[in-house]
């Protein structure tokens, strides 16, 4: 005979005890404010600003060649994130790239992260902490300043 105890476990829903309440909680980051995960709006704003800058430089120097635009974008990302921890777009949006633990990203992380970002797919596949595959590959994270 089937009783309420047999079916009660699935009626109560899935176990949500291991699910974080906000992006970055599992990483020990605050929910909001400085040091919290940069949300999608800031990320999109930053990449749009960086792309417009790369497009302007490409139009002026290379006649708007699409590969030149991508190359200018990549060089900007590698140089600025590798040295300062943020691109022009990141700075305007109030975010920066750091390694888990708070250390600067560094040049190698900037190169690998940028190459994966230029492939697009790794940047749009992300985890519950809103870290794209390009960030997970180098243990980096975009946080608010």
Question: Over 60: is that where the pLDDT of 79 sits?
Answer: yes
Tell me the average pLDDT of the chain: 89
Where are the chain's structural domains?
28-144
Cβ contacts of residue 137 below 8 Å, gap of 6+?
A: 112, 113, 116, 122
| Predicted pLDDT of residue 5 | 59
pLDDT tens digits along 53-78: 999 999 999 999 999 999 999 999 99
pLDDT tens digits along 101-136: 889 999 999 999 999 999 998 888 888 888 999 999
Contact assessment for residue 134 and residue 29, using Cβ atoms and an 8 Å cutoff:
no
């Amino acid at each position: 005979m089937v009783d309420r105890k047999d079916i009660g476990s699935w009626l109560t829903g899935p176990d949500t005890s291991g699910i974080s309440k906000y992006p970055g909680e599992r990483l020990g980051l605050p929910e909001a404010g400085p040091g919290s995960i940069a949300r999608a709006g800031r990320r999109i704003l930053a990449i749009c600003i960086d792309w417009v800058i790369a497009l302007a430089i490409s139009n002026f120097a290379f006649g708007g060649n699409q590969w030149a635009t991508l190359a200018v974008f990549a060089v900007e990302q590698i140089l600025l994130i590798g040295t300062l921890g943020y691109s022009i777009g990141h700075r305007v949006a109030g975010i920066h790239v750091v390694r888990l633990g708070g250390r600067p990203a560094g040049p190698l992380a900037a190169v690998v992260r940028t190459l994966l970002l230029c492939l697009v797919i790794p940047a749009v596949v992300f985890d519950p902490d809103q870290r794209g595959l390009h960030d997970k590959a180098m243990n980096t994270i975009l946080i608010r300043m």
